Every structure is written in structure tokens, then in C-alpha cells.
Chain A
Amino acid sequence: MEQKAVVKSKKPIYVVWIIPIVAMAVAGLMIFKFFDNKGFEVVITFDSGEGLTVDKTPLVYNGIKIGQITGLEVNKNDVTKVDATLTLEKKAAIISKRGTIFWKVEPKVSLTEISGLSTILSGVYIGVMPPSKDKIKLAGLPDQFDFEAESTAPVDAFDPGLRFKLLADSSDLKIGAPVMFRDIVVGDVENVVLTKQGVEYSIHIQEKYAHLIKEKTKFWKISGIDIRASLAGIRVSMDSLASVIAGGISLSSPENSKAISEGSVEYTLYEDYEATALADDLIYLTSPQGYNIDEKSTYVYYKGIHAGVVEKVSYHPKQDETTFELKLNKDFRHLANKDAYFWIVEPKIGLTKVQGLDALARGPYITFETHTKSNDLINEFTLNTAPPIMEGLNLRLKANQSYNLKAGVNVVYNDLIIGMLTSSRITQGGDEVDFDIVIADEYKHLVNETSSFYLQGAVEGEISLKGMYFNVGSLSSMIHSGISLVTKDVSNKVPKSTFSLFGSHKAYKDKIYTEDGGAFYTIISKELGSIKKDSPIIYKGIDVGKVMSYNLNKKSSLVEVDIYITGDYKDTVNASTKFFDLSGFEVKADMTGLKLVTGSVESIISGGISYVTPLDFSKDPLPDEFNLYENSDDAQSSYIEVSFSSELESGLKVGSEITYKTITIGQVTKVSLVRDVLRYDTLIQEEYKDVLAEDSIFWIEDFEFNIDQVKNPAAIVTGAFIKVNKGLRQDSLSHFELLKSAPADTINKEGLRVVLKGERLSSLGVGSPVFYRQIKIGSIEAFKLSTDSTGVEMRLFIDPEFSYLVRRNSIFYNATAMGMDVSLFGVKLSTETLSTIIHGGITMVVPDKPQSLAREMERFQLFNEADEDWLEYKPVIVKE
């Protein structure tokens, strides 16, 4: 009894053992899968173990991790090296074949390379590249488990594109240097090999840019930063940052050349872009002196144009001679023919001037010229010290000082040298200097009686409010002063042999300013204001002249200003012209914003005069002197004095405007009280004097806000103003009564007017519409209590277009009332139009037999409600 247990069934005991069996299977599978994926190990020998971490440093192929370092130890044979044990994932086993390249990817920032920047954050990793792209081919290769790591990433030979060789003299480009086309990197330098001839670069051009490489493509080095300094300026150009660091190659892609197909072609790498344009053959100049000429930086000019460069300078002690080797641009090579004359242009440093600036910047240069177009090209010339002696037209220039001009100074025309100064001497009187110049025969035609000569300084400048003005001469005029020739009319054939020489470009310009056929005028003003000598004369915003002088007339104590209007604009001034002072500001404020009216900035500060000419074809004789008005408004119109009286208090004040159809025609100038009535004195522009008709109506408009409209919102800012409805009569008045509010629009309009007499006004008022078949045909113009006070009399205005509808038997009723029909089917609301509920309105009906036309001011009865019969009327009324 004691030991008797209740045992129902033994079955669950066996079932329960399924759980650990399943658990064993699952856990076993998990462990198996985990360790199975561990793959196998390869050993890679690195020069340095720096950055490698056990269980961390990954093996990355094409950006994905396929293994990691699981062990690091010093190489058994060579203790300077490190063996890294890499555990590859099983699926990547195929990569471990003979020829597979492993290398370490670490951040590298050096003068020639920036790479692996991503590893700064992620840490060093090991890169791998299999010997083949093809999986089947790869599988066929023998397995290998020991590798030597490469020091740098290999050339990605799987990268498609164009490969070819570039030959150069020096190897200042490194592997990885970019090949650029229009600042876009299109390829890179893959390898540099030293050959017998020089250096051979292997270039790889990306596939998508391969078409740029043509048979005539030129390659030149870019150094990243290119600085060229000369007296003409400093030019700094910078290529991409990569090329600044690593250098680079740029290329041209001539359109008319064939694209190359495969990289069997070899190209020459030029030193710079200029070098690509140079002719291949050298020109030798011999000279007893060296002239401080430097290789590669001394240029050769032809007529002031860059034409080549000195490639080499060599001294021969035996002959005591110096030989300069030049290379000329292809475009200039044909000019170095047997008649060519080369000479050196050296800076001359005198006691009176410092001219060494140019020499400091770039030293002397070589120039040449030729008189013939001979095709007999030669390579050997003599370098002369002086320019060739010129023959041509002899002229004499006169000036009152020598300007330090010496023989040899160039005469230039549009920056082209056309002649030179041959001698200068003081005249016998001693107060003038004569200069003899010679103009080359080919430019003789440029000199005639309209010619002027002025001294061309190196840089002549003036900074004023008008802006900066600079007159810069040619390069040679910077070294020596130069003489410039200007000829206004080249076609003029009248010769002249003696000219005066102006001291500067400005002196010349001032002289010729008043010689263009313009006209002088005198303006009188109470005071000068900010007007000065040279203040501009502005017409419609165009600078048309300037103030030449001014003086005070002691008799009249007025200022007389002499102005000059240039020839082109002379005609814009006639008897009707009114000049006004443009100086200062004029501020106009209204609802649309604040408007600042000024002349040019220059005229604000230095003063200015403008003018208007209202009558373009005025034939009146010009007055001796013009008046100067204070501002443009004063100048443009004159005014009529008109006064208004009003018993109402309103927002009108001095300055309030008078408008006619939105145009401002005048202004209130004074507000006063005369016998307890407000009196407004105003000025109205003369051109609008028509509005002062006897029957014109003036009223005050102000901001108004009521249920159905907002009137004159602009008046909130500008204040009340006076508005006018122009009358029709001829006679004019100079005093008007101001109405409190606007009269009906229809006042003073032509049309039919009839009078209605009603019992009361109800909601009707001025402006309430009159309808005929719901078309508006007129409106109430005015109303008043009838003389016997039994009703209201309203004057209707009927639009002339519809006046034929109003017949003597027309019936008028108040359309304001609403009709409401209540029926089984609902409620029907009837009214004329929605707006009549608010505004009120009158409807006119005409019986089926219309009588004759209503007469002017005919009287009608106004019914309060419509009779139903009236709505049935359908008279036929035809407009005549």
C-alpha cells in the first residue's frame, strides 16, 4: 500500500526523449554550419604588419569582406617580414590561386598619391585581385596557399579602356597621375619605365573616353599651378587638386582627326601647352653678348605677339659668341625667312625713370620682323642690338616739354607699332620742343589732317564716380614711353605734316570733346548748388554733355553755368527746353511703395543737370540763356491756381492730391478758414485746365469701408484727395464747391433722364440700378423729397444705348422686394438679382403696345410691387 504509485501510462516517458534528440540535431547543425563556413587558411607575407589586427583586419574583394586575419607572426626565414594567416570564407576559396595578388590598403597621403582614405575610419584592410576574371579559367589554375603581398595596389588590368605609351624626357609624373581632358579625369598613368630614349609612360584611358584619343592628339604636362607674371599682369591658373599634387597630363582632341583603335601608337609628351604649338626645328641666333636671356623663360615676339621661346643659350668660348636656340610657334615659323631681322629689346634704366620693373619680371626679349613673304626659310640669324632703321613718312610734332622722349620711342596706332621717334630738339625760341617721327610707309595712310598725337604713358588712370578709367599702352610703351596716333577719319586724304603732341590721353580727350559739333548753352540759376565743372548733363538718362564752366553775374547776382552738349544730342535742345537740377533725391510715397527718384549716383554727389524738351519741333529762336528749375516736376509743367470751399471737415491737407481719372493733376497748397468755411487753395497743372469747366464737379474721396465695398484703400496712406468729374461746358471757373461724396458716375454723361415719383425711398439710393428684363439699363442719379413732401422724386439716368426702351407708358416698380411662393413642393424665392437685395433696384416693364419714346425728364410713378400681369408683357421694341 505504501509504495503503490499511481501510474497511468508509460508512453509519455518515451515521447519526451524526442526533445533532446531534436535539440541535439538542431544545435549540432548550427555548430556545423558555423564552423563549416570558416573556410580555410592562407598565409600572406607582408613587409610590415603595421595596421594588421588579428580577428579584425578583413580581406576585401570588390568591396565585400571574404575573410579576415586570424593570426600574425614574424616570418621564420626573414625576421623583417610578417606572416599573416588569413581565414578565407569557404565560398571565396576559388580566389586562392597561383597569380593572385594580395596587398595592404592603408591610408596613404603623399605628394604623389592620396589613396585609401576610407581606411582612416574603417582601419586597414587587405585587398585581393585574382589572376583572371573568368571563373572557369580561375578554377583551372593550381591552388596556392602562400603568398607574398605586393607593396602597392596592382594595375587593374580588368579595367577596360585604351592603353598606349607616351614618350617624354623626364619622369616627373608619378604612377596614378591623372590624364585630363577639359579638366575631367579621363585616365591615368599606370606605369613609368625608363628607356634608352627617355621615359615611357603607360597610359590608360577609361573606356568611355577612349574616343577622345585621335591620331593628332597632343599630350602635354600640367603642373597643377601655372603662374605667369609679366607687366601686363599675373596669370595664375590652377588645374585639379590631384594634378597639383601628382602632376598630370592634359590632352587635345582635334575633331578632324581619326580616332585610334588600339594602343600600338606612341605619342610624345610635351612639356607644356605652348610647347605643343612650337615648330620642331630650331633657329639659331648668334650674338656677341648674352643679354641676360634665360632658357625657356625669354620669349620671342613678332610685332608684339608672342611667337616663340628661347630653348637654349650656349656660349662658345672660342669664338666669344653666344648662340641662342629658339623655337618658333608653327604659325610664325614661315616668317623667319631669309629677310628676317632679329633684334633684342632690352629695358633701359635711365636716371630719370625706373624702367627695370619689366626686367625684374621677365628680362629682355627678342623680337623679329620680315619685309618679304619669301618661302626661303633659314635657321641661322644674327641677333642685332637695335631695331631696323625705318623709312617712311616724316612728321613733326610740337609740344611744350620733352616728356623725356628719346629717339627710338615707338609710335603706335591701336597698339600696333607704326613708326618711331627719330629725333627731338628744342626750338630756337626755347619754349617748344620739336619731335621728328617717322611713320612706316605701309601705315602712311593713317595720318591726315584729322589725326592727333598724344603721349602714351604706361598706365594712365583716373578714378572718379563715373568709374575707373585706365588707358594702358602696349608692352613696349611701358618700357619706353610711347606716342599714340589717333585718326578720327581715316578716309580723309588731306595731308598734314605738323601736329601738336598732347601730354596725355586725358588732355587729348578733353581737347577733342568740344570738337564734335556740339553746342554751348548758358543756364542761369539762383545758386550753383552741387554743380561743378565736369558735372554731367543728362537727357533721358543719357550722358549728353557736361558743365564746362560757371561764373557769377555780379549785376544780376545769378549764377551763369556754361554747358556743352555733344554733337549727337545738340538737336534735343530747343526753345521749349527746360533745364533742371538733377542733384539730390526726390521721394515719392504712395500705396504702391516708396519711390526714390534720383539721377545717377554720380549726379547725386557731383551734381548734374538734366532737361526736358516738351515740344520736339519748336522753331522758336533759342533764348540767350535758360533758367534752371529746381526739379523735374517744376520744369515740366506750370500750374493754374484754383480754390475750393467746403463746409465739411475732411482729411484734406496741404499736399493732398487732385486727381482726374486716376491721374494726379494738382495739389492742395494751402488750407485756410474763410468765414467759418474751409478754403483749399490748389495748383492744377496747366495741361489739365479743361477740368475747370463751369459744370465740373469736385468732391472729396477718402478711405471708406462699408458692407459692400472698400473704397480707396490707398487713401489710408496718402490721405484724402480731391476728385473731379469733368463738366461739358466751355466756360471755366477758378472756384468750386467741394461735394461731400462722389456724384453718380452718370453725371455729365449723355443719356435719357426721367423722373420717378415714389412713396418712399426704401432701400434705393444713388447708383441703384434700373433693370429691363434683368438687364441693367440705367441707374438712379439723384433723389430728393418732392416739393409737397408727399413722396420722393428720383432722377433716373438711362443709358443712351437703352433709351429707346423707355416709352411713355413704361411702368416702373421697386424690384427690391422679394417674392416668396410657398407650395406643396417647397418654397420658391424670387427676386430680380441678388445684388438688388443689397443695393435695391428698379425694374421697368413696357406694356405689349408700347407708346412713343419717353421725353427728357418725363415723370413716372414708381410702384412698390409688381402686378403679376406686368410680368407677362412681351412688347416688341426694335431699336431704330
Chain B
Amino acid sequence: MRKIYGITMMKWKTDISEGRVLCLSCEELHSLGDNECQRCGAEIYQRKPSSIAQTWGYVIAATLFLIPANLMPMMVVTSLGSDEGSTIMEGVIYFLSHKDYGLGLIIFIASVAVPVFKLSVVYYLLLIVHLKQREKALLGLKLFHIIHIIGKWSMLDIFVVALMVSMVQFQGLATIQTGAAAISFCAAVIFTIIATEKFDPRLMFDN
């Protein structure tokens, strides 16, 4: 029955429907109605508390921070007295125009595609829950796992900038400094990760 995909008004078997509740702390199985974990003593919640609201909060914050992250310069290259800031997209275009497709692609994926994709997925998951699109729940779960896996690469651009800043410090000749975008990019990435963390994927299967 779980393998069948695309049938409207799908009904999933859930912990609630089975009358069970899982301790979020130690994963001990309890009967519905238990308030305290018998094993670890933690409070028992059926779902992550206020999961949807918190996810919304963090995802919106991440989205807001992504705007200055892309508008402002990521790093400022000072070479021979004149400083030049470049935003993420400018950097990507720079590499592509210099036929450095590999590097350009990596930066584009890590700094633009992945954060946007992650945010889109979180929005999509939230919509699945809100619109009770239960037949999309399985797809949603897959996407949720994917963003979990790629989440650990989202700071790649920050690492690139950090490396450049520490390596290119030739006083007078060329120095690189972090731009204002670096901080908001960091914030965007962190808020995205927290948003993902706060989301309880089981909500998508609830009737």
C-alpha cells in the first residue's frame, strides 16, 4: 500500500492511527496519552512542538538573509590600490566568462542553486502539510532526506572566501577581504539548516 503512488485521498498508517507515540529524545515507544518517557523521563510529544510555525519563522529569516547575500559583495579584492567587490553571481559570471566552467559551476551550485533549492524544498514541504497533499508526502520525504544530505555542503562558498582571505594577503599588491554578503550568507545557511531541523516530516503523513 505504501508503494502505491499517485492515488488521491491516500490514507497513511501513522503512529497516531496505531495509537502509539515515540519519545523524541530516546525513541522509546509509548502508548498514546503518555506524557513522560518511561525510559529517559523526557516530555513526550506526538510531533515536534510548534514544528510548522518554527520552520516558517526560520525559513523566512533565511530567505530574507539570502537577498543581501546575493546583492552585496561577497569578497573585496584590493589589488594595487583599487578595491573591487564582487557578489556571488559576479564571481560565477567571472569564472564562466574565463572558461573556468568547473569552478564556476561548483560555486554556482554551492552558493546559489543549493541554498535556493533547500529553501524551495522547505517551502514545498510546508505547503504539503498545509494543503494536506498526502499523496505528495513520499516525494516530500525524499526531498527532505536530500536536503539533509546536501546541507553539510552549504557553507562551501564561505569556506572558499575564508581560504581566499587567508591566502591572498600580499600587502600593497593584492589583498582579499570578506564582504558584507558573507555574513548574511552565513545567516541564510544557518537559518535554512535550523528550519530543516525544526520540520517534522511525519506531519506530511498525518491525516
Q: Which residues of A contact B (CB under 8 A)?
A: 1-2, 4-6, 8, 10, 12-13, 16-20, 22-24, 26-28, 30-31, 34, 55-56, 58, 65, 121-123, 125
Task: Report chain B residues within 8 Å CB of A1.
Answer: 32
A20 to B207, CA, bound (A): 29
Across the A-B interface, give the 4 residue pairs with the lowest CB-CB distance, nearest first.
A23-B61, A20-B60, A122-B80, A16-B57
From the candidates B17, B56, B68, B82, name the one contacting A122 in the complex (CB within 8 A): B82
B41 at interface, CB cutoff 8 A:
no
Q: Which residues of B contact A (CB under 8 A)?
A: 16-17, 21, 32, 35, 43-47, 49-50, 53-54, 56-58, 60-62, 64-65, 67-68, 71-72, 80-84, 180, 183-184, 187, 191, 207
Given contacts A16-B50, A16-B58, A65-B83, 17 further A-B contacts (CB under 8 A): A2-B17, A6-B21, A12-B49, A12-B53, A16-B56, A19-B61, A20-B56, A23-B64, A23-B65, A23-B187, A26-B184, A27-B184, A28-B64, A30-B72, A31-B67, A58-B82, A125-B82
**When the two chains form their complex, are residues B67 and A27 in contact, meaning their CB atoms are under 8 A apart?**
yes
Task: Report chain B residues within 8 Å CB of A56.
Answer: 82, 84
**When the two chains form their complex, are residues B16 and A2 in contact, meaning their CB atoms are under 8 A apart?**
yes
User: A58-B82, A65-B83 given as contacts; is B72 within 8 A of A31 (CB)?
Assistant: yes
A55 to B45, CA, bound (A): 56
A177 to B108, CA, bound (A): 55
A31 to B73, CA, bound (A): 11
- 11 A/B residue pairs, CB under 8 Å, sorted by A: A2-B16, A6-B35, A6-B44, A13-B50, A16-B54, A17-B53, A20-B56, A20-B64, A23-B65, A34-B68, A65-B81
From the candidates A4, A10, A27, name the one contacting B64 in the complex (CB within 8 A): A27
| Residue among B56, B61, B83, B191 with max Cβ neighbours from chain A (10 Å) | B61
From the candidates A10, A13, A19, A27, name the one contacting B68 in the complex (CB within 8 A): A27
**When the two chains form their complex, are residues B49 and A8 in contact, meaning their CB atoms are under 8 A apart?**
yes
A125 to B72, CA, bound (A): 24
When C-beta atoms are compared, the residue in chain A nearest to B16 turns out to be A2
A442 to B183, CA, bound (A): 100
A549 to B46, CA, bound (A): 134
Compute the total of residue contacts between A and B using a CB distance below 8 Å.
Answer: 88
**When the two chains form their complex, are residues B45 and A6 in contact, meaning their CB atoms are under 8 A apart?**
yes
**When the two chains form their complex, are residues A16 and B53 in contact, meaning their CB atoms are under 8 A apart?**
yes
What secondary structure prevails in chain B residues at the interface with A?
helix
| Residue among A2, A6, A121 with max Cβ neighbours from chain B (10 Å) | A6
When C-beta atoms are compared, the residue in chain B nearest to A22 turns out to be B61
A23 to B183, CA, bound (A): 12
When C-beta atoms are compared, the residue in chain B nearest to A63 turns out to be B81
Distance from B122 Cβ to chain A, minimum over Cβ atoms (Å)? 13
**When the two chains form their complex, are residues A31 and B46 in contact, meaning their CB atoms are under 8 A apart?**
no
**When the two chains form their complex, are residues B71 and A34 in contact, meaning their CB atoms are under 8 A apart?**
yes
Task: Report chain A residues within 8 Å CB of B65.
Answer: 23, 26-27
From the candidates B17, B32, B81, B191, name the one contacting A19 in the complex (CB within 8 A): B191
Task: Report chain B residues within 8 Å CB of A121.
Answer: 80
When C-beta atoms are compared, the residue in chain A nearest to B17 turns out to be A2
Task: Report chain A residues within 8 Å CB of B207.
Answer: 2
User: A27-B65, A30-B184 given as contacts; is B57 within 8 A of A17 (CB)?
Assistant: yes
Task: Report chain B residues within 8 Å CB of A24.
Answer: 61, 64
Task: Report chain A residues within 8 Å CB of B58.
Answer: 16, 19-20
When C-beta atoms are compared, the residue in chain A nearest to B35 turns out to be A6
A19 to B63, CA, bound (A): 12
A27 to B45, CA, bound (A): 34
When C-beta atoms are compared, the residue in chain A nearest to B53 turns out to be A13
User: A122-B81, A125-B82 given as contacts; is B43 within 8 A of A8 (CB)?
Assistant: yes
When C-beta atoms are compared, the residue in chain B nearest to A123 turns out to be B82
Task: Report chain B residues within 8 Å CB of A10.
Answer: 50
A493 to B118, CA, bound (A): 123
A10 to B50, CA, bound (A): 8
User: A19-B61, A31-B68, A34-B68 given as contacts; is B53 within 8 A of A65 (CB)?
Assistant: no
A34 to B83, CA, bound (A): 15
Distance from B38 Cβ to chain A, minimum over Cβ atoms (Å)? 16
**When the two chains form their complex, are residues A31 and B71 in contact, meaning their CB atoms are under 8 A apart?**
yes
A55 to B83, CA, bound (A): 11
Task: Report chain B residues within 8 Å CB of A20.
Answer: 56-58, 60-61, 64
Task: Report chain B residues within 8 Å CB of A23.
Answer: 60-62, 64-65, 187, 191
A722 to B16, CA, bound (A): 121
| Residue among B43, B56, B81, B184 with max Cβ neighbours from chain A (10 Å) | B81
Distance from B180 Cβ to chain A, minimum over Cβ atoms (Å)? 6
A2 to B191, CA, bound (A): 34
Task: Report chain A residues within 8 Å CB of B81.
Answer: 65, 122
User: A13-B50, A23-B191, A65-B82 given as contacts; is B180 within 8 A of A30 (CB)?
Assistant: yes
